[in-house]
Amino acid sequence: MPALTVNGTRHEVDAEPDTPLLWVLREQLGLTGTKYGCGIAACGACTVQIDGQPMRSCQIQLQDIREGEEITTIEGLSPDRSHPIQQAWIELDVPQCGYCQSGQIMAAAALLRDVPEPTDEDIRASMSNLCRCGTYNRIRAGIKRASELS
Ligand code: FES
Ligand code: FES
């Protein structure tokens, strides 16, 4: 049975090799913070980190995950919402409906790790997640606030 390391815990999963990681996370492991939006790599609602890199889990099949790769979902970003991105999101009330926000946060956390003081241009270049509620200005402000908090 294939095994995955998710949020620091190893899980054996019973799924077909071509099952998208998104559905393994949601349906096999019950990690429903990662959302389904488009299923075609366009929206980013399904973003998780694989070895720290933001990836669209609707486009990754179970068989694509290599032994030893560490998958992090929104549930594993911090134990208590203490990640600077989460703190800034709470402080600035970034989400509106919230549906896209797990993906936004996972992408933003990866950006902040690589670029501790991102400019508007850095944020524009790396944040390709869509938000139907149009929270882009607050997302940008949230990333900058998280940079101050880091
Ligand atoms: S659901 Fe994966 S990118 Fe939209
Ligand atoms: S907060 Fe509603 S889709 Fe982004």
Residue extents of the structural domains in the chain = 3-77, 84-149
**What CATH number does domain 3-77 carry, 3.90.230.10, 2.40.160.20, 3.10.20.30, 3.20.20.80?**
3.10.20.30
Report the DSSP beta bridge partners of residue 48: 55
What is the bridge-based pairing of β-strands 53-56 and 3-6?
Answer: unpaired
Q: How far is the CA of 132 from the centre of ligand 1 (A)?
A: 13
Q: How far is the CA of 108 from the centre of ligand 2 (A)?
A: 15
**pLDDT at position 109:** 98
Cα 50 from Cα 62, distance rounded (Å): 13
Residue 118 CA neighbour count, 13 Å, CB half? 27
Closest CA to 85 of 32, 37, 129: 129
Q: How far is CA 2 from CA 18, 62, 72, 82, in A?
A: 12, 8, 17, 32
CA end-to-end distance (rounded Å), the chain: 40
Q: How far is the CA of 100 from the centre of ligand 2 (A)?
A: 5
Which residues, given as ranges, of the chain have pLDDT below 50? none
Locate the ligand 2 atom nearest the alpha carbon of residue 98 and give its number. 1
Which DSSP symbol is given to 26?
I
Closest CA to 73 of 113, 109, 20: 109
**What CATH number does domain 84-149 carry, 1.10.150.120, 1.10.3720.10, 3.40.50.300, 3.40.190.10?**
1.10.150.120
To test ligand 2's pocket by mutation, which of 133, 136, 140 has the most ligand atoms within 8 angstroms of CB?
133
- 109-148 pLDDT, tens digit each: 999 999 999 999 999 999 999 999 999 999 999 999 999 9
**pLDDT at position 10:** 97
Give Dmax over CA atoms of the chain in angstroms: 45
